[in-house]
Amino acid sequence: MRSAIVMGAIFALAQLGAILMAWAFLGPEWQAFENPNDPLIPIYYIVAILGFTFAVLYVIKKKREDVVRIVFLGAVAYTIFFVIMIILAGFMYSTYAALLSILVTAVLTYYLVKWPEWYVIDAAGVLMSIGIIGIFGISLGILPVLILLVALAVYDAISVYGTKHMVALADGVTKMKLPILLVIPKKRGYSYIKQKPLMEQLAEGGEREAMFMGLGDIIIPGVLVTSAFNFLPDDAVSGISGNLLVSLGTLIGALAGFALLMRYVLKGSPQAGLPLLNGGAIVGYVLSYVLVYGSLSLGITLPW
């Protein structure tokens, strides 16, 4: 139970960090898409996810984990540098910010390669989550985000309970010790470096020494949290901005989904996180939007 509470706290921390980043450091110039309300963007994103996932599984099957590791670590290093650079640039000259960002990124990447313990993995994962949530949150309007959350919840359920390729992907990730999982030890003295591959551990049975959550389970519902903050009107309600209230309501809904998810996870079998996490976020968003703005439009802007 303690591990679940810690994981929930980190989940919330990443969402709040992304809101803060969107508010203080990310302007329109950082938007990834020209039209944030384009409903086709989620389709492109899902196709990219499918292609990337099966490419990784193919490379793993061909015993070329070194290629996957290099690509992932390169993407991780770039994302960490990007997040740190944007934050530091708000407090110091850009040259100093760039140099310090390079230094921090180099140190963290070194430990990811040489000593990928759970706390190093988690530190990198939280930084990545904050940055990715922040960028996608300011780049996607409410309608594309809702489409994305529903579609990925369905995909996650199919990939875990149907094809089971997501379990195979998680197994490959634990073998390579890549920072795309959140790892929370259940016992003192746990070492992620010594962690057995997931499939092997499941086959052996017994109590697992740590809890795992894919960064996608943090990032995807978080995009709606930040999108609500970025795109909704900031009309004050009892002295608090309406967009912040709806954003926090969305986060509370996601945490409710997280609590329900943990009831199944603690039983020991792999679970699809996005159906409950995304579902909770959407319910939290709808309820808080109606309560705050008194409208059923849900803040959706049609692209036509």
The string of pLDDT tens digits covering residues 253-278 is: 999 999 999 888 777 666 778 999 99
pTM: 0.89
What pLDDT is recorded for position 58?
Answer: 76
Mean predicted confidence (pLDDT) in 280-301: 92
What pLDDT is recorded for position 140?
Answer: 92
What pLDDT is recorded for position 88?
Answer: 87
99-148: pLDDT as tens digits: 999 999 999 999 998 888 889 999 999 999 999 999 999 999 999 999 99
Q: How many whole angstroms from its chain centre is CA 88?
A: 22
What pLDDT is recorded for position 199?
Answer: 62
Going by their DSSP bridges, the two strands 210-214 and 240-241 should be labelled as unpaired
By CB neighbour count within 10 A (0-12 exposed, 13-18 middle, 19+ buried), where does 39 fall?
middle
What pLDDT is recorded for position 207?
Answer: 64
Whether the predicted pLDDT of 198 surpasses 90: no
Whether the predicted pLDDT of 9 surpasses 90: yes
Least confident interval from 24-33, 61-70, 209-218 = 61-70
Whether the predicted pLDDT of 13 surpasses 70: yes
Q: How is residue 28 annotated by DSSP?
A: G
18-60: pLDDT as tens digits: 999 999 888 788 888 888 888 888 888 888 888 877 777 777 6
Asked if 252 and 291 count as a contact pair (C-beta separation under 8 A), the reply is: no
165-188: pLDDT as tens digits: 676 676 666 677 777 888 888 888
Separation of alpha carbons 161 and 118, rounded Å: 27
Mean pLDDT of the chain: 85
Asked if 10 and 258 count as a contact pair (C-beta separation under 8 A), the reply is: no
What pLDDT is recorded for position 51?
Answer: 81
What pLDDT is recorded for position 57?
Answer: 74
Tokens of 28: 């329109």
Asked if 286 and 228 count as a contact pair (C-beta separation under 8 A), the reply is: no
Contacting residues for 16 by C-beta, under 8 A, at least 6 apart: 251
